[in-house]
Amino acid sequence: MIALPTRRDEAWRYSDIDAVADLWPIKTERFVVSENETHAMSFVLDATKSVARDVEIDLEPGAQLDLHVLNIAGGYGRLALRAFLGEGARFHLGGVQIGGAGQTLEIVTTIHHEEPGAVSSQTIRSVVANNATGTYLGKVAVARDAQQTDSEQDVKAMLLDRSATANAKPELEIFADDVKCAHGCAIGELDAMSLYYLQSRGLPPAEAKKILLQAFVAGVFDGAEDEEKLQALALAKLGELV
């Protein structure tokens, strides 16, 4: 049996190991997007239970995948994702994590650019409150022969109170020299002036916060095959936090 991970492993540094033990071992799910095929997928980590998913995706040459993730798992929620991009493949991940009441939520990704001309982008938004922890660990690995790689990571987290924790580590490992790779990361709080403006227009404080949080995650689910469902679930969870 595969040994249970520990916090000494970077990919599990911020995990709830006791919760992991209840779900261990985690079966790997494998998907293949065939050559020149365009595909869309959505994952929802269920708010009613702890969930851990380990996903491996192969994108063959010219394949395109648009993947959307909503992590609102009850207690503990983890998505570990590894994607392998063939020549000219295109991969996009849009992920939202929303948690409170001591939840531990994490998205851990490794995107392997192994051949030339592939494009990847990741947009991650986390909203955490009330002793919750939201983590994103994202590595982009560009092989020596993967020239003309184009990769971007856009990571932001919102802390709704001082008991919440957000961890973010976008990482680039590049061995090719003709690439365009960038990452941006920000962790902050709701803007006090924006809250004041909305409340001065007659909105109750909770409603004003909900509107700002909705704007914070807006756009992440654009183009998802079940966009309306994802938006509704996210909005309902945000409502619980404010």
* 185-232 residue pLDDT tens: 999 999 999 999 999 999 999 999 999 999 999 899 998 989 999 999
Per-residue confidence (pLDDT) for residue 169, from 0 to 100: 95
Q: What is the rounded average pLDDT for all residues in the chain?
A: 96
- Is 206 among the domain residues? no
Is residue 76 a contact partner of residue 60, using CB atoms and an 8 Å limit? Answer: no
Kindly tell me the sign of the dihedral angle through the C-alpha atoms of 65, 139, 226, 209: negative
Side chain identity, residue 123: T
What's the whole-model pTM score?
0.95
pLDDT, mean of residues 89-100: 98
3-state SS, residue 207: helix
- Is 93 among the domain residues? yes
Per-residue confidence (pLDDT) for residue 54, from 0 to 100: 98
Tokens at 75, concatenated? 């207690």
- Is 173 among the domain residues? yes
Tell me: pLDDT of 1 over 90. no
- Is 232 among the domain residues? no
- Is 223 among the domain residues? no
Report how far Cα 195 is from the mean position of its chain's Cα atoms: 26
- Is 167 among the domain residues? yes
- 198-211: per-residue pLDDT in tens? 999 999 999 999 99
Number of domains in the chain: 1
Identify the bridge partners of residue 80 per DSSP, sorted by sequence position: 54, 108
102, 46, 234, 133 alpha-carbon torsion, rounded to 10°:
20
- Is 205 among the domain residues? no
- Residue ranges making up the domain that contains 80: 10-190
Q: What whole-number distance in Å separates Cα of residue 180 and Cα of residue 140?
A: 12
Neighbours of 240 (CB within 10 A): 14
Per-residue confidence (pLDDT) for residue 47, from 0 to 100: 84
- Is 43 among the domain residues? yes
